[in-house]
């Protein structure tokens, strides 16, 4: 079911979406981030919920972009923080396909790839339901992601996953090996340490965030839902610390069979190098690519370099 972006979302979009379908025009706001071809926005029923996604390109190679926390609409504000203000923290926790991946939606080769960016359930336009975080929420997202792409009639897909989306991508590759072509992940972790938990606790109370960061997100989600979901996310991710080895998906990494590229920004203050090394060491045959100046949002700050890296790997 195709849907038009609501007027509130349109006013807040910082990306120029060029040549959108009728009724989905977004006013010009940031030409540097304009998409290069037609982009459709739609919702489809998957596993009992209606999942929102964007789709662009016409290539035979299907690619799903998996964001972090909070969903497609939210990263309009996050992109401002990540790219303009360098508030890299928001990129980790407030993920969205639309603006988490603006340079990828715009510039990945439209002849080679069909690119889809989605809102996981409870985020962005994939509501209702409200987001919750049972211990299996990453596995649930992985199943939703795969079933979304099957519903869209893609026979096989590659995954580009950032942060939480990287965890989801690794789980999907392990659990649905015949369906996943290739995987690129960055800013992901397979377990939670005491250091990680301290970082997560530091963002629990959104009232302590800078007003410049907080206000646009409150406007997008509503004050209560935004604050409540961030708290629930912290509790959800911290529950893994109580498991042996802080396990999120470390036990699944040896099951990943597809070619996998692990990208790490060496200046990422949120995800230590040890997490990238662990994934690289435990996913058989994976490649590790280090970006010396990259932070958590390396695919936004160094979009051209990242896109070239991803395209070369995916081909």
- In 3D, which of 275, 218, 211, 223 has the Cα closest to residue 249? 275
141 included as an active-site residue: no
Residue of 50, 52, 275, 296 marked active site: 296
Residue 21 is given by DSSP the state P
Q: Check residue 110 and give its pLDDT.
A: 96
Structure tokens at 48: 């009992």
Angle, helices 194-201 vs 223-238, to 10°: value is: 170
Q: Check residue 309 and give its pLDDT.
A: 98
Q: Write the CA distances from 58 to 111, 240, 311, integer angstroms.
A: 6, 39, 15
Q: How many CB atoms lie within 10 A of CB 222?
A: 12
Residue of 41, 126, 163, 286 marked active site: 163
CA distance 141 to 197: 22
**What's the average pLDDT block by block, 10 residues per block, for the chain (315 residues)?**
38 29 29 57 97 96 91 40 37 51 94 97 91 98 98 98 97 98 98 95 91 83 93 97 97 98 95 97 98 95 97 97
Q: How many CB atoms lie within 10 A of CB 6?
A: 11
Q: Check residue 90 and give its pLDDT.
A: 43
- In 3D, which of 295, 299, 304 has the Cα closest to residue 88? 295
Whether the CB-CB separation of 222 and 276 falls below 8 Å is answered with no
Give the chain's domains with CATH numbers: 40-75+90-314 (3.40.50.1820)
Sign of the CA dihedral 167, 170, 173, 176?
Answer: negative
- In 3D, which of 100, 113, 96, 104 has the Cα closest to residue 181? 113
Q: Check residue 17 and give its pLDDT.
A: 27
Q: Reading across the β-sheet that carries 260-265, which strands appear in turn?
A: 39-46, 49-56, 113-118, 61-66, 157-162, 180-186, 260-265, 287-291
296 included as an active-site residue: yes
Residue of 268, 275, 286, 299 marked active site: 268
Structure tokens at 286: 């994976």
268 included as an active-site residue: yes
Q: Write the CA distances from 37 to 66, 75, 83, 153, 181, integer angstroms.
A: 20, 20, 22, 21, 24
Q: Write the CA distances from 20 to 54, 66, 143, integer angstroms.
A: 11, 22, 29
One-character DSSP codes across 148-200 = HHHHTT-SSEEEEEETHHHHHHHHHHHH-TTTEEEEEEES--SB--HHHHHHH
**pTM attached to this predicted model:** 0.83
């Amino acid at each position: 079911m195709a849907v038009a972006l609501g007027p509130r979302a349109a006013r807040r979009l910082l990306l120029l979406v060029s040549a959108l379908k009728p009724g989905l025009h977004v006013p010009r706001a940031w030409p540097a981030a304009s998409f290069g071809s037609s982009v459709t926005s739609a919702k489809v029923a998957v596993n009992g919920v209606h999942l929102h996604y964007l789709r662009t390109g016409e290539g035979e190679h299907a690619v799903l972009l998996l964001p972090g926390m909070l969903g497609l609409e939210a990263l309009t504000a996050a992109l401002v923080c990540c790219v303009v203000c360098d508030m890299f923290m928001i990129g980790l926790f407030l993920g969205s396909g639309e603006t988490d991946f603006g340079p990828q939606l715009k510039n990945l080769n439209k002849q080679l790839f069909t690119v889809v960016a989605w809102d996981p359930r409870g985020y962005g336009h994939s509501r209702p339901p409200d987001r919750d975080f049972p211990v299996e929420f990453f596995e649930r997202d992985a199943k939703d992601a795969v079933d979304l792409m099957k519903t869209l009639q893609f026979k096989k897909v590659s995954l580009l996953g950032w942060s939480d989306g990287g965890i989801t991508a690794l789980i999907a590759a392990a659990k649905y090996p015949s369906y996943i072509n290739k995987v690129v992940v960055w800013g992901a972790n397979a377990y939670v340490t005491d250091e990680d938990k301290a970082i997560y606790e530091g963002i629990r109370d959104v009232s302590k965030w800078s007003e410049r960061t907080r206000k646009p997100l409150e406007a997008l989600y509503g004050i209560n839902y935004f604050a409540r979901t961030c708290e629930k996310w912290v509790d959800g991710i911290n529950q893994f610390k109580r498991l042996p080895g802080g396990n999120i998906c470390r036990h699944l990494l040896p099951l990943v069979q597809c070619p996998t590229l692990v990208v790490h920004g060496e200046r990422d203050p949120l995800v230590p190098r040890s997490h990238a090394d662990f994934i690289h060491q435990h996913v058989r045959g994976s490649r590790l690519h280090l970006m010396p100046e990259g932070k958590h949002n390396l695919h936004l700050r160094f979009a051209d370099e990242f896109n070239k890296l991803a395209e070369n790997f995916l081909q």
